[in-house]
Chain A
Amino acid sequence: MNSEPQVTEALVRAANGDPTALDTLIPKIYAALRQLARRQRAHEAAHTIETTALVHEAYLKLVTQGGATFTDRAHLYAYMSQVMRHILIDHARRKKAQKRQAPDVTAPEDASDIIDVLAIDEALTRLAAVDSRLAHVAELRLFADLSSPDIAAALGVNARTVERDWLKARTFLAACLMPAA
């Protein structure tokens, strides 16, 4: 694996308080998070503080982990996707616990359209047990929001393979999520 100087540099900058540093590394995911935060402010809606908290949480985790050196993009992505996965799972669990106490006011309306993160997590773990590479691709895709070419570049394989792996992973996950249709 090739050590990428700009990764280390960006992390150092981030650790020093430069909020744009990470943008260069994980463009899409971080942009998404930042966009979320902006929308939050713009709407000032009842749409819960949870998304903001989520962004901050992810950011903090990433920054405080800055000491851990990411030798390359692949490691950073892998780490990032895992952080995101855990954050979302925590978030989902918290929400579930709250729901047990009181009906959820803030749940998105069309709950049926949205796949439960916890279910995805479970399915991913299942997939990892039978085919870790597929699981890895799926994780990057789902939790780092990376495109097939991004993933291909990070893993050093060609994009077509990644795309094919994703299709297979998707089939597996969908089968786990939608049993006995």
Chain B
Amino acid sequence: MIAEFAQRWPEIEPLIDQLFDVPAAERTDWLHKHCGDATLRALVAQALDHAAGNEALERGMAQWLPGLADDVPEGLPSIAGYRVLRFVGSGGMASVFEAERELPGGPQTVALKLLRIDVHDAEERGRFLREQRILARLQHPHIAQLLDAGFSPTGTPFLALEFVAGDDIVRHCEQRGLGMRERLALFIDVCAAVEHAHRSLIVHRDLKPSNVLVGADGCVKLVDFGIAKLLTGDGERTRTEARRLTRLYAAPEQFSGDTATTAIDVYALGVLLTELICGQKPRRDSQNDAEPTSSLDSHVLRKRLGIDLHAIVQEATRQHPNRRYASVSALSADVQRFLDGKPLQVRADTLAYRVFTFARRHTFAVSTAAVAALMLSGATIAGLHEAHLARRAAQDAHMQAMSAKGEARRADALKIFLEGLFDSASPETKGTETIEQLLAVGRERADRDFAMQPALRVEIIALIGDLERRSGHPDRALRPLEEAAALAKTQFGAGDRRTLHVQYLLAKELDELGRVHEATAGLQSAVSAFQSGPNPHSPEEVQALAWIAGLDERSGDSAKAIEIGQQALTLARRVLPDDSDALTEAVLNFGWLLMDAGHPEPAVPLLREALARKRSHLGARHGDVADTMDLLAQALMQSGRYSESEQLLRDAVSMDTSVYGRPNAHTAWHLNDLANVLAFEDRFNEAEALYDQSMAIDLAVAPAADLTQAVSIGNLARLRFAQGDYVGAEAGYRDAIARKQRLLGADYGDNNLGYDKARLAEILIARGRLDESAPLVNAAVAEERRRYRDAHPDTAFALMIDAELMAASGDHHRAADLCEEAVAMYTALDDQRTDKAIRARLLLGDLWLSLGRNVEAKSQLEAVLSTLSTITPAPSALMAYAKADLARIDASLGDVDAATRLHTEARALLSDVKPGPNADRDAATHLLASAGTERHEPAGAMAIRRQPHPQPPR
């Protein structure tokens, strides 16, 4: 535009040269006559329309020399009825004089304000006087009373106001070095005055420090109420108003010429508050002007004001008038709340409104006010009242919406906010990356905005760490949690429940990283410190105890674990309300640990209860609900209820898809367990596909899921084993072990190392490499015995593998002894239906048979078959094997009919088995084929095959 103007100057110049001589009213016609080029006409017309610019240019150099801008007028004005004493000062709109007003009771000192406007015609003069009469009715202890108004002999309008001998509010505070509380107290007085004016339907329109004076007595007096309006009037003159306005203090809509509403004053008060606290004028961030946020938003400001006052300022100075505080009283109330240390309305609002559904209602209510304001645009003072009422109504609707949530504490609001961000990460909204960014932003905010509120900062850092963990990033979660734990100890003390809670979160994280001992030690000492503290028996204690129980279980002390778990649950049921999250956790943890300790039967009802609770707390679709379903599925798997387990896992996986939107470590776990259950059902191909899917996710979210990936590789190796592919099984299992070794280091010992050794030994025995397997088996048995004082599934499993090794080495007596111990252990655990327990009992039957203890073998096999018949769906191949085995025993005992019947049944079962490699089917087929040719085939490693073991996702 300017470039075009400059470029065409040679054409423009002669035209304006002539136009200077044409009267203003005739210029348009003249231009049309003398210039055919419309663009050029527009340029010329526009150039002549810069009265303000011309005015400023005419002022010349003086305006750039500070202090000379407003020169002292020559002499003192003379106004009838007043004795002008001295010049006080001048601003953009007026010169002010101290004067005495002659009154019957004696002279009254007034501030005489000569306005820099010309009011010539009678109509304008009339309007001026009408307005001033309205203003004169405005009476408030904090408003300088308008006493009189009129015109000087030269026609200059003047106002006479109550004289305030004092400084402007900012200078007053600075000079006296007032503290923040004193400044805010003054600010609240200012608000009271403005509020009073608003109730009288008068908007100040030009609030700024020079209009807010503080007398020598410390009393706030606002001056110039409504004068901006007197100066400009309505409608077409608003642009002039915009130029006259103090740019910094003017609300955005004042520049665009919108109708004056109370929101303008709210805006200016926000700016005033900033200047008052900072002692300096804030800078308006012009880049923000396009944003629907506040004009006053910068890190510097936030730092100087602190998060609460900054929030107040932001809310007051929002770009859009309808998003500001609905009234001055709302603003003032929040400042008062700040002074009283109470939670702010604004913070609850801004944080919560993104999360809760009332946002829509809120927006709707506010836009009602916006419509009202639009309809009233151009209205006079009286119209303002209606706009005001509309705003009030909007605010009431808003308040109602707020109270639906209750007076959420600020910290809660923030927590809800962050958790809301996390939980709402559904496909249509945010993906993993966005969550990462959000958490990064959250962290930044915690450090920056909450630097002065360490207590809140601790909670937020801990929350961020926990959210990282829950969103599948244990690698990123550790540091913030450790930091929070250290801060909490110094901040709250060791006996505080918040410290315990942070320690609990850290323990969960360490646990997930496999650092069980550290987790146990840290949490144990935190619980001890807490129990000796002033307030034991809290939800935090229940949570911590429940988790310690789980940790104890994994570090080998099942009995203690169960005792503590039971204790935690009992405590929870006694002290916690029924809908408490901590109670749910206690139920869940106890169920989980019973399952891990090899007691799937009592675990199932607890996990069912936990799932029901999670569903009712979190809704049907939630990441935590899916995780709980997975745990219940594992317990069901262990009690032989494969169908139900499979269904639950499928539901969990589908829930993950909708909850997470993107590949997530949790989804990988759930897929893994689904594959495990399918493997138990001999659906190897489906299982393999799911393992692959799980590992693809692990790769996508690496390094977060490196450990899960190792577990999946191990599971896949076991699948190979079940298929009879021992070479593939060995390679895979060694890979899994190497990965876990690398990832866990010294912590591997706490994470199924013994179990993995036993598994690898099992594969080696199958390959006939007994010498290699022997040290592994011995180490596994020794480790498990050392770890678990009591009966434990892992010890039982190691013993069974040892039995297999002995059998394969020809020492059937030793093998039978070991296997008996294993079976006794499963029995002690009431673990009858797990795949491992069944196979141990099958092996024992075979071993007895080989030792000539045929009757015992028969009853053992019959018991196994009766257990197998309770498994759903029936594991056909394994059942066929058991029947073929029993047939062999019956045959050896001379019961040929029974043997034949069993053979038939076994063959029928085998026809149900899905095609594809299957070691159980092969073993059964082999037994059936060799029936009658060999009377006492010793139970060998080739005959007994184990299947994947479900591994809990920890």
Contact = CB atoms under 8 A, between A and B. Distances in A.
Nearest to A99: B283
What are the 9 closest A-B residue pairs judged by CB atoms, nearest first?
Answer: A174-B53, A110-B92, A174-B50, A103-B280, A178-B53, A175-B47, A130-B9, A115-B56, A112-B247
B615 to A, nearest CB: 54
Given A105-B281, A113-B92, A173 B246 contact: no
B278 interface: yes
Contacts of B69: 108, 113-114
A6 to B, nearest CB: 24
Contacts of A129: 6
A36 B50 CA distance: 30
B9 A172 contact: yes
B245 interface: yes
B361 interface: no
B16 interface: yes
A51 B54 contact: no
A110 B91 contact: yes
Contacts of B65: 32, 36, 51, 54
Interface string B885-904: 00000000000000000000
B61 interface: yes
A168 B56 contact: no
Given A32-B62, A99-B283, A110 B46 contact: no
Most B C-beta atoms less than 10 A away, residue of A47, A84, A102, A105 = A105
B68 A36 contact: yes
A175 B248 contact: no
B64 A131 contact: no
A62 B814 CA distance: 114
A27 B16 CA distance: 33
A117 B283 contact: no
Interface string B256-290: 00000000000000000000001011110000000
B60 A142 contact: yes
Q: Interface size bucket, B side?
A: 35 or more
A173 B6 contact: no
A106 B53 CA distance: 24
A43 B67 CA distance: 10
B280 A102 contact: yes
Contact of B6 (A99, A106, A126, A164): A126
A172 B47 contact: yes
A105 B66 contact: no
Nearest to A107: B281
B2 interface: yes
B243 A113 contact: yes
A170 B65 CA distance: 20
A58 B46 CA distance: 37
A61 B68 CA distance: 22
Interface residues of A, number: 56
Most B C-beta atoms less than 10 A away, residue of A127, A175, A178 = A175
A109 B54 contact: no
Interface string A63-107: 000000000000000000000100010011000000100111111
Given A47-B67, A175-B46, 7 more contacts: A32-B62, A39-B68, A48-B66, A107-B281, A111-B247, A112-B246, A170-B54
A84 B210 CA distance: 31
B10 A130 contact: yes
Interface of B: 1-2, 5-6, 9-10, 13, 16-17, 20, 46-50, 52-54, 56-58, 60-69, 91-92, 208, 210, 239, 242-248, 278, 280-283
Contacts of B9: 130-131, 172
A141 B57 CA distance: 9
B62 A181 contact: no
B17 A179 contact: no
Nearest to A176: B2
B20 A180 contact: no
B67 A109 contact: no
Contact of B67 (A36, A103, A107): A36
B13 A168 contact: yes
A115 B281 CA distance: 20
A143 interface: yes
B248 A111 contact: yes
8 contacts: A51-B66, A91-B64, A104-B280, A113-B69, A142-B57, A170-B58, A172-B47, A177-B50
Contacts of A171: 16, 47-48, 50, 54
A180 B247 contact: no
A35 to B, nearest CB: 8
B60 A141 contact: yes
A176 B243 CA distance: 17
A129 B58 CA distance: 22
A177 B239 CA distance: 16
Most A C-beta atoms less than 10 A away, residue of B49, B52, B58 = B52
B790 to A, nearest CB: 71
B621 to A, nearest CB: 50
Nearest to B248: A111
Contact of B49 (A84, A173, A181): A181
B61 A32 contact: yes
A114 B60 CA distance: 10
B10 to A, nearest CB: 7
A84 to B, nearest CB: 7
Contacts of A170: 54, 57-58
A103 B274 CA distance: 12
Contacts of B248: 111
Interface string A37-62: 00110010001101100100000000
B280 A173 contact: no
Most A C-beta atoms less than 10 A away, residue of B50, B243, B247 = B50
Contacts of A106: 66
A164 B54 contact: no
Interface in A110-164: 110-115, 117, 126-127, 129-131, 141-143, 145, 164
Contact of A114 (B6, B13, B64): B64
Contacts of B49: 181
B280 to A, nearest CB: 4
A93 to B, nearest CB: 13
B67 A51 contact: yes
A86 to B, nearest CB: 12
Contacts of B1: 179-180
A174 B16 CA distance: 13
Nearest to A170: B57
Contact of B92 (A51, A109, A178): A109
Contact of B56 (A32, A91, A108, A114): A114
B16 A168 contact: yes
A39 B57 contact: no
Given A168-B13, A171-B16, A145 B52 contact: no
Contacts of B13: 131, 168
A172 B16 CA distance: 10
A177 B283 contact: no
A138 to B, nearest CB: 8
Contacts of A99: 283
Contacts of A173: 53, 57
Nearest to B52: A178
B66 A108 contact: yes
B42 to A, nearest CB: 11
Interface string A7-38: 00000000000000000000001001001100
Contact of A112 (B62, B91, B244, B278): B244
A90 to B, nearest CB: 12
B245 A112 contact: yes
A161 B283 CA distance: 44
Contacts of A130: 6, 9-10
A63 B17 CA distance: 40
Given A115-B63, A130-B9, A103 B283 contact: yes
A142 B66 contact: no
A134 to B, nearest CB: 8
A167 B53 CA distance: 12
A181 B46 contact: yes
A176 B5 contact: yes
B660 to A, nearest CB: 45
